[in-house]
Amino acid sequence: MAKHKAKTRKDDLRTGTPFWVKTPHSTVSAQASLTRERFDVIVVGAGISGALVAEALTRAGKSVLILDRRPPVRGSTPASTAMIQHEIDMPLTRLRKKIGKERADRAWTRSVRAVEDLVKLADKLELDCQMRSKPALYLAGNEMGARALASEVRAREEIGIRAEYLKRSDLVERYGMDRQAAIWSDASASANPAQLTAGLLHAALSRKAQIVSPVEITDMAELPSGIALATKKGEVLVADHAVFCTGYEYLPQMKTKSHHVTSTWALASDPISTLPEWMRDVIVWEAAEPYLYFRTDESGRVIAGGEDEEASESNSDPRNLAKKARIIAQKLHDLTGVKIGKPAYTWSAPFSVTDDGLPIFDRVPGFERVFAVLGFGGNGITFSVIGAQIIAAAIAGKPDPDAEIFRYR
């Protein structure tokens, strides 16, 4: 029996208070203790990735035990600003250069489908999570100017992803923002990430799933007929398969050189009644370093973020939080003319990125029946939809044709 030491990292996943933890229906009650029941699959992690995986598996008829060392939906998911984007962090033109045209085109196409699938799923399950389809505006910045955006539009259109190039005057006229150019594209969305996750977990629980918390998994081993997971308290749990959806607290075996942790900041304003009408319907981000992004919620709050730093620790410094919130609010004002006043909520968090902007959904190296869903990147939620589809298919013995794009690298 191959036995691997598998203690996960433990990070401070948030500093400050994300708005979402204050919204109703944003968590789920968990059982406090484990039973002797055997499950088909153990899902470790009750954030958006674990919730999507558990929903997909239970929809396919599997029995699922969901474990978390924190209460459900209290990892990094509630820190998310939940712009559910079909646009991958790495523009299509650049991704083609990095991983080849065929694979890049498939990754982008799959990302569009993932947003559509998630919106449909939320609708079908009648999730009360403010899920709303919205177009995205991608503004020219110091990373991509007007010409680069024009060729990005051509690349996307070539593979059937609708995108419209907006020149400066169009952008000013339609959105009152003065930038060299922008890409307008439909097929994105926004939601309350905590309510979305809680709703998906409830859907899994209404089928054959249970959630137990707090339970920390510290070790794992592969058996001839399944897997065994050890808890911090010394219990051993056996199942046919395990899926680790542990976010940025990945297992040592999951460590890959193509991935690193950075820091990011976000805020939510009080509801603003005088917002420009367009701001309620569009999500905005920029091709800049550091970048600004923003969206609104149904009540007219502006939720904005960015100011990322390469350092993995700087997000836990409260002095940085106040400073970064001021910068984000000022940038938003300079760009849109909207003054948000003192933010109602500010928060910061670690954030994982990969060199090619793509996530990892794969068997953990050295294991046949243990999978990892590492939905890293600025569109981690969209990626986790793809991850849930790929892993549920692998467990059902029906490999997904796009799986090889998201393998360990």
Site for ligand FAD in 213-252 (CB under 6 A): 216-217, 245-247, 249
| Site stretch for ligand FAD (CB under 6 A), options 66-74, 112-120, 140-148, 233-241 | 66-74
Q: Is the separation of the CB atoms in 40 and 322 below 8 Å?
A: no
Report how far residue 313's alpha carbon sits from residue 310's, in angstroms, rounded to the nearest whole number.
9
Q: Does 306 bind ligand FAD (CB under 6 A)?
A: no
Left if phi > 0, otherwise alpha if psi is -120 to 50, otherwise beta: which for 391? alpha
Closer residue to ligand FAD in complex, CB, 10/398: 10
Among 8, 15, 210, 354, binds ligand FAD (CB under 6 A): 8
Amino acid making up residue 314: S
192, 203, 202: which is closest to 59 by C-alpha? 203
Number of residues near ligand FAD (by CB under 6 A): 40
Q: Does 386 bind ligand FAD (CB under 6 A)?
A: no
Closer residue to ligand FAD in complex, CB, 27/336: 27
Query: 3-class SS at 226?
Result: strand
Q: Does 50 bind ligand FAD (CB under 6 A)?
A: yes
Closer residue to ligand FAD in complex, CB, 263/336: 263
Closer residue to ligand FAD in complex, CB, 77/269: 77
3-state SS, 365-386, equals CCCCCEEEEECCCCCHHHHHHH
Question: At which residue do the structure tokens 């592969």 appear?
Answer: 222
Report how far residue 135's alpha carbon sits from residue 187's, in angstroms, rounded to the nearest whole number.
6
Q: What is the DSSP letter of 9?
A: P
| Site stretch for ligand FAD (CB under 6 A), options 63-71, 88-96, 179-187, 395-403 | 63-71
Q: What is the DSSP letter of 7?
A: P
Q: Does 129 bind ligand FAD (CB under 6 A)?
A: no
CB proximity list for 116: less than 8 A, separation 6 or greater: 187
Q: Does 253 bind ligand FAD (CB under 6 A)?
A: no
Site for ligand FAD in 344-373 (CB under 6 A): 349, 351
Q: Does 141 bind ligand FAD (CB under 6 A)?
A: no
Per-residue tokens: 326: 């001021």
CB proximity list for 151: less than 8 A, separation 6 or greater: 93
Q: What is the DSSP letter of 142?
A: S
| Residue 135: CA count within 13 A, CB half-sphere | 15
Binding mask 172-211 for ligand FAD (x = CB under 6 A): ----------------------------------------
Q: Does 90 bind ligand FAD (CB under 6 A)?
A: no
Closer residue to ligand FAD in complex, CB, 222/249: 249
Binding site for ligand FAD (CB under 6 A): 8, 13, 44-50, 67-70, 74-77, 79-84, 216-217, 245-247, 249, 264, 266, 305, 349, 351, 375, 378-382
